Amino acid sequence: MLVRPAAPQDLPAIQSIYGYHVLHGLASFEEEAPPLAEMRRRFEDVTGRGLPYLVAEDKGELLGYGYCALYRARSAYRFTLEDSIYVKHGQQGKGIGRALLAELIVRCEALNYRQLIAVIGDSGNAASIAVHASLGFVRAGNLRSTGYKFGRWVDSVLMQRPLGKGDGSRP
Look at residue 19 in the predicted model and tell me its pLDDT: 98
Model's pTM, two decimal places? 0.96
Residue 156, classed as helix, strand or coil, is strand
At 157, the pLDDT band (50, 70, 90 cuts) reads very high
Mean pLDDT over the full length of the chain: 97
Query: Across residues 135-140, what is the average pLDDT?
Result: 98
Q: Which fold has domain 2-162?
A: Aminopeptidase (3.40.630)
Q: How far is CA 28 from CA 4, 17, 19, 33, in A?
A: 23, 12, 10, 10
Q: Which of the four pLDDT bands, split at 50, 70 and 90, describes residue 134?
A: very high
Tens of pLDDT, residue by residue over 10-57, are 999 999 999 999 999 999 999 999 999 999 999 999 999 999 999 999
The residues spanned by each domain of the chain are 2-162
